[in-house]
Structures are given as structure tokens and as C-alpha cells.
Amino acid sequence: MQCLPEKDRPPFEQDSYERIINDVLERTREQEKICERHASKFTWRGKEYYSREVADKIIAWAETFIRVGDTVMQYDPGHAALPWAGVRFILQVAVNRNQAMGTALVGIELVTNIMARTRVYEVLYLSGNAELKIRQTLKAELIELYASILKFLAMTRMYLLKKGLERTISAVFSTGELKSQLSSIEKQVSRVSETAAVAEGERKFPVYILRDGKKGIEAIENNLRGLDNPIGRIGHRVEAIYVEVEEKKRFKILKWLSKIECFSHHKSIQKGILEGTGQWLMERPEYNEWYSSLGSSILWLYGNPGAGKTKLMSMVIQRLMTEESEHQATAYFYCYRNEEQRRDPGEILGALLKQLALSNEELPKIIVSAYDKQRRRGSGSSLDITEAQDLIAELANTKSKTIFLIDGLDEVDKIRRKELLDALKSIIESTSQVVKIFLSSRDNKDIRNELYGVPNLSIKAVDNAADIDRFITREIGQKIRDGSLLGGEVPDDLREHIESTISGKAQGMFQWVDLQIKFICEFQIKSDIAENLGRLPDTLEKSYAMLYQRIEDTKGATPEIVKKALMWLMSSAVPLTAQNWVEVVDWAARMDSREGLNMNQLLDLCRYLVFVDKESGIVRFAHLSVREFLEKKFTN
């Protein structure tokens, strides 16, 4: 006590040992409940901890201190009550100041661990008639350590009593006097432990001072072993809880940024792509200039409906994903007109931001802060466009190069396309690092106007002719192998005729090719195939018209039910799973006093127009051009 100025001594004035230690336990348990209720946490030496778990440790050390006392007869803990009185005072001051409390708990945990440990040393090596050569050295070191602890507690009290310290308490513990004092205490603990080890080597313990003799010694030694965890650390169980809680919050933050599963869309689109597809695009000078130039830039890929723009974009995305590093990040998005979220600029930016956040080992602090800020406002809403673009720019500034790829820009809500393009341009302008943006769409007038002066690439029939030929060869071969085409019995000359005819009329449209191959598989006689090859519809719209005519030619109420089924897909505010789709169609049929259709019947009647995405289970139109055909058809 003599080391402290008189003004700092009142908190350590004597009170009964039992009252002090019980007050500490009671107040720590009270704090433990508060911390658990609010999930309070703090950062200590670069790592985050939950306050409740540290409070739990303090309770354990206090109970260890009591157990050691219960083991010993005629042991006066009066002097040991001094630091516990300081601990009690800090708990009284900080109990309603959450930010200060979290960091102050670390210092308390350190002190209580030391007090429990040194009490064991006193009992084993300084009590009763123990005659040890090193006794005086150990005693002097303990006194020096206790003086440092009292000084630390007094300094902590002083800082906690300062107004407005909630904002700075963590920094106070990490720098300046308190940091120095903590370091000094840890060094002293190390010296005391070394001296205690020497004392253990020469110990001749006076058994008569223990209530249970040899068992008492064993009990004290067990308590000492229980204190062997490094001071200031949380155990494995606590660490597991911490990780679990952090993962739950991480999951919530990612869901808050975006619920759209971009990787699932990418996986679905990547299926069936032949090796070498799109290689022509990678060799185009416009692409290489965009990718290799040292400055930020935008590249626009455009083409006719069904030309394979999405597949090309997926190839570029796949290639760039393999080139990712801690210095380069890639984020992408596949727009889709039939799902509102996938055509909303805010949702698109949120999905890009989510991918950038995931490119780091830990969620960036600016993302966590933005989430916490929204929660403090009581808002569960997602980021608006400005907030999202600002965060994207900040994260892009942490990388040497960031690449954004957006497919199907023409599928974004037409009224809001400009918002998205303005946001992307703003990201480039406000970022000091390199940002590359690759967009694909049809050659729509509004998009061309917004991207005036931007380098662009158009997909012409000659560009993807080799890709289409490989596609035709593979698909015809697959239909022969699985028996879909003439039961697998297709002469070589007929196969060559089929492939060359479809290739000659493809005009760069993968979607058209896919439909024609499905058409010819419906014929059972070779001559019918040869005859109808020359009558294939030469456009997508004519192909869809032929398909829909087959539906309308079906007898009974089926055409009307199928029409409503397709209209449900067009008008639903949320994506429909196959089961949802069947249920709403069945409900609509019953409202008209008709029987519904089962899933297989619906999919069979609407074949080639819709499909079930195996990744998500959602029913989708085979292509945007299908929806556009139906909109025109139903409007007329």
C-alpha cells in the first residue's frame, strides 16, 4: 500500500475478506448476465473476445482463491483482500459502461488469475513452519508484484472515472501507462513463477497446517494446475463458442449484403460448355487491350438474342476467377429479367459487394461497421445504391486490380439501367486503383447511348461459328448415344446432312441450334428428318411460334391451362420452384372448375420453352427471347 499516493488508497481500505470476495463474485455474475444479453465484445491485442467469457474466467479465479483458503487452517488472507477490494471498485464503476467494461475486464481477469495463483504460492511456500532458503526472495518478489497490481488497479480506476472514456478505454489499455504497467506485471509474474519452481524443489511442507493433510496438498496443487492457462487467454471451449457466434454474425452480414447466389447461377451456366468455347474472344485485340491496360476501363460485348453472350461471359468469369489473388479480385453478376432481384441495380451492387467482401480472409471492418450502424438505427433494410457503390470503391482501393463482370445488362429494369451504369462509372472515378468492368447485352439503343465512346465488341456469326459447330457435333452425338435420335440408328451420311444443314442456318445463334436439334429428335422416320430439315424455321420467333401452335392444337382445356401456367411464370414476383408452379396452376384450374396438370405433364407440354434449373429447383424460361415471344403473343 505504501507505493500508492494517499489519494489512491481509499478503494483499498480494509473491509472483511468474505464481504469483498463475495461482492466481487456477485458483481461479476451480474456483469456476465449483461454481457450475455448484449453479446458485448471487445478487441484485446488484435483479437476480439466476448465479455461474458472473460467474466466467466474471473469467477473461476475467484472461486479458486476461495477453495485454496478453505483448504488451509489459520491462514489470514487480510493482505490478499487489498487487490480484491480494488477489483470490486472497478466493477462498481464500470458495470453500466459497456465499452469500458469489456476492456477493463481483461485487466481484472489478469489480476484475479494472478491473485489465485500467488495465494497457492503463499500457502505452499510461505505458510506455517516452512523453512525454505528461497523463502525471503519469494516473499520480496510477491510484495513487489502486489504493489504493481495495486498501482495498476488504481490507474484503471482513475481512467474509468474520466468522462467520455468509453470511446478511448481500449486505446488506454493498449498504449501508454497502463500498457507499460501490464507488461511489468507479466514480467514479475514470470519471475515469481520461476522462484516458486525453485521453492518447490526444496519444499518440506508442514502438513499440520492443512485440514486434510496429504489430500490438502494435492487439492492445492490441483488448483495450481487449473491456473496454468496463459493469462489473458480464453480456453478452447470459449474459442469454439466465439468462432460459432462470429460465423453466425458473418452469415447474417453476407445475407444482408445479398441473398442472391451468384455462384449457383455461374455453376448452372457453366454446365455443358465445351473446351475451347469463346477462345476467339480472348484473342480479340479489344479484349486484350481492356484487360492488359494499366488504367481503369469498361468493355461492352453485344450481340443478337441467342448468340451465346451469357456462355461467353461465363468463360471469361471462369478464367478470371482462376487468376484471383490477394491483390486482384473478381466479382460478377448474371442479370435475369424474370426475377425481380436479378434486375434491380441495388441488388446487383449488393451482390458485387458481397463477393468483394468474401475475397478477404475476414470480413472487412467497413462492411461490419456498416452492418452494425444499420442495426443501431433499428433498420433491417439493405444498402442503397450510393452506400453500396461507396463501399465497393473503398474495397476496390485495397486491391491492385478489381474486375467486375455483368451479363445481361439489357435484362435490368429499363427505367433503372442508367442508375446502374452511373454507379459503375462513379466507382471507377472514385477509385485510385485499377478497376475493370466488362458488360454484355443486346445492342439496345439506350445502352449504346449510355456507353457512347466505350470500347465494344460485337458477336457476329463468323466469330462463334467454330463454337457452334463443336456444339452441334457434341449434341447430335449425345442424342445418338442416348437413343433420342432415331433410336440411335443414324447413318453417317444423314448425320453429316443434319449437322451441315443446322450449321448453315445457325447465323451465330446457339439458342436456335438447340431448338432445331430438339425438333428433329421428335421424328421417328429417317425420310421425315431429311424432308423437314429444309423446313426449319429460320428465326427464334418463328421457332417459338411453331412450338406454341402445338400447344394450342391440343384438345380440350389443356391450352388454356398451359397459357395460365406460362403467365404465372411471367408475372410472379418471386421465382417459382417446380412444386410452387404446379400448385398455383392447379389452384387456377380449380377456380375454373377444371382439373389441374401434374408436374410431368406441364413440363412435357411446355418443353423447349421452360426448364427446371437443377441447381436451384426453380422453373425458368429457356431464354429471354421465350419470354419476349410470350409477352408479344399474350398482348396480341
Give the DSSP H or E segment for 482. Answer: none
Q: Say whether 474 sits in a helix, a strand or coil.
A: helix
For residue 441, the cross-strand partners are 302
Q: Are residues 610 and 576 in the same domain?
A: yes
Do residues 431 and 465 make contact, with C-beta atoms less than 8 angstroms apart? no
Do residues 356 and 395 make contact, with C-beta atoms less than 8 angstroms apart? yes
Q: Are residues 378 and 248 in the same domain?
A: no
Q: Are residues 530 and 602 in the same domain?
A: no
The dihedral formed by the CA atoms of 543, 547, 553 and 557, expressed in degrees to the nearest 10: -140
Q: Say whether 164 sits in a helix, a strand or coil.
A: coil
Do residues 394 and 366 make contact, with C-beta atoms less than 8 angstroms apart? yes
CA proximity to 578, closest of 550, 597, 552: 597
Kindly give the residue spans of alpha helices, DSSP state H, lying in 451-555. 465-481, 492-505, 510-520, 526-533, 540-552
Give the DSSP H or E segment for 437. Answer: strand 434-441
Regarding pTM above 0.85, the answer is no
The span from the CA of 529 to the CA of 523, in Å, is 6
The answer to whether position 542 is within a domain reads no
For residue 125, the 8-state DSSP code is I
Sign of CA dihedral 145, 151, 157, 162: negative
Q: Are residues 407 and 439 in the same domain?
A: yes
Q: Are residues 298 and 442 in the same domain?
A: yes
Kindly give the residue spans of alpha helices, DSSP state H, lying in 39-175. 51-71, 81-94, 98-121, 135-161, 169-174
Q: Are residues 325 and 178 in the same domain?
A: no
Q: Are residues 419 and 277 in the same domain?
A: yes
Q: Are residues 243 and 277 in the same domain?
A: no
Instruction: Please tell me the predicted confidence (pLDDT) of residue 428.
Output: 94
Q: Are residues 438 and 525 in the same domain?
A: no
The answer to whether position 235 is within a domain reads yes
Give the DSSP H or E segment for 288. Answer: helix 285-292
Grid cell listed for 590: 380449380
Instruction: Please tell me the predicted confidence (pLDDT) of residue 318.
Output: 92
**CA-atom Rg of the chain in angstroms:** 37
Sheet holding 456-458, edge to edge: 328-334, 401-407, 434-441, 297-302, 456-458
For the chain (636 residues), the mean pLDDT of every run of 10, in chain order, is 69 63 70 61 59 64 59 50 68 52 64 77 70 81 85 75 48 57 82 82 52 52 50 37 62 91 90 82 91 92 87 92 86 92 94 93 87 76 90 94 95 92 94 94 91 85 84 91 91 91 85 87 87 80 86 84 87 86 82 70 82 84 87 83
Domain stops at, among 410, 426, 458: 458
CA proximity to 347, closest of 402, 458, 265: 265
| All residues at 6 or more sequence positions from 21 whose CB lies less than 8 Å from its CB, including other chains | 62, 65, 66, 81, 84
Q: Around 232, how many Cα atoms within 13 Å sit in the side-chain half-sphere?
A: 17
Do residues 506 and 539 make contact, with C-beta atoms less than 8 angstroms apart? no
Give the DSSP H or E segment for 206. Answer: none
Do residues 624 and 411 make contact, with C-beta atoms less than 8 angstroms apart? yes
Q: Are strands 434-441 and 297-302 parallel, antiparallel or unpaired?
A: parallel
The span from the CA of 60 to the CA of 569, in Å, is 61
The answer to whether position 548 is within a domain reads no
Residue the block writes with cell 442503397: 384
Domain stops at, among 203, 230, 256: 256
Do residues 105 and 58 make contact, with C-beta atoms less than 8 angstroms apart? yes
The answer to whether position 5 is within a domain reads no
Do residues 146 and 91 make contact, with C-beta atoms less than 8 angstroms apart? no
The span from the CA of 436 to the CA of 419, in Å, is 18
The answer to whether position 32 is within a domain reads yes
Do residues 338 and 569 make contact, with C-beta atoms less than 8 angstroms apart? yes
| All residues at 6 or more sequence positions from 23 whose CB lies less than 8 Å from its CB, including other chains | 88
Do residues 609 and 544 make contact, with C-beta atoms less than 8 angstroms apart? yes
CA 537 to each of CA 243, 467, 605, 630: distance values in angstroms, whole numbers, following the listed order: 60, 21, 20, 17
Q: Are residues 251 and 114 in the same domain?
A: yes
Backbone torsions φ then ψ of 439, nearest 5 degrees: -120, 150
Do residues 623 and 518 make contact, with C-beta atoms less than 8 angstroms apart? no
Q: Say whether 47 sits in a helix, a strand or coil.
A: strand
- What is the distance, to the nearest Å, from the Cα of residue 213 to the centroid of all Cα atoms in its chain? 57
Grid cell listed for 348: 446487383
Q: Are strands 456-458 and 297-302 parallel, antiparallel or unpaired?
A: parallel
The span from the CA of 632 to the CA of 591, in Å, is 26
How many domains does the chain contain in total?
Answer: 4
Domain that holds residue 479: 460-536
For residue 10, the 8-state DSSP code is G
The answer to whether position 1 is within a domain reads no
Residue the block writes with cell 441488388: 347
CB contact burial 499-517 (16+ within 10 A = b; e otherwise): bebbeebbbbbbbbbbbbb
Give the DSSP H or E segment for 41. Answer: strand 41-44
CA 45 to each of CA 48, 232, 449: distance values in angstroms, whole numbers, following the listed order: 8, 10, 54
Backbone torsions φ then ψ of 399, nearest 5 degrees: -115, 155
Backbone torsions φ then ψ of 330, nearest 5 degrees: -125, 135
Report the Cα–Cα distance between both ends of the chain, in Å, rounded.
95
CA proximity to 111, closest of 160, 54, 67, 68: 54
The total of other beta-carbon atoms located within 10 Å of residue 361's CB is 6
Q: Are residues 381 and 434 in the same domain?
A: yes
Q: Around 622, how many Cα atoms within 13 Å sit in the side-chain half-sphere?
A: 20
Residue the block writes with cell 447465323: 507
Instruction: Please tell me the predicted confidence (pLDDT) of residue 14.
Output: 59
Domain stops at, among 223, 256, 289: 256
Q: Are residues 350 and 293 in the same domain?
A: yes
| CATH number of the CATH domain containing 604 | 1.10.10
Do residues 502 and 516 make contact, with C-beta atoms less than 8 angstroms apart? yes
Q: Are strands 610-612 and 619-621 parallel, antiparallel or unpaired?
A: antiparallel
| CATH number of the CATH domain containing 324 | 3.40.50.300
Do residues 618 and 612 make contact, with C-beta atoms less than 8 angstroms apart? yes
The answer to whether position 543 is within a domain reads no
The span from the CA of 546 to the CA of 602, in Å, is 18
The answer to whether position 7 is within a domain reads no
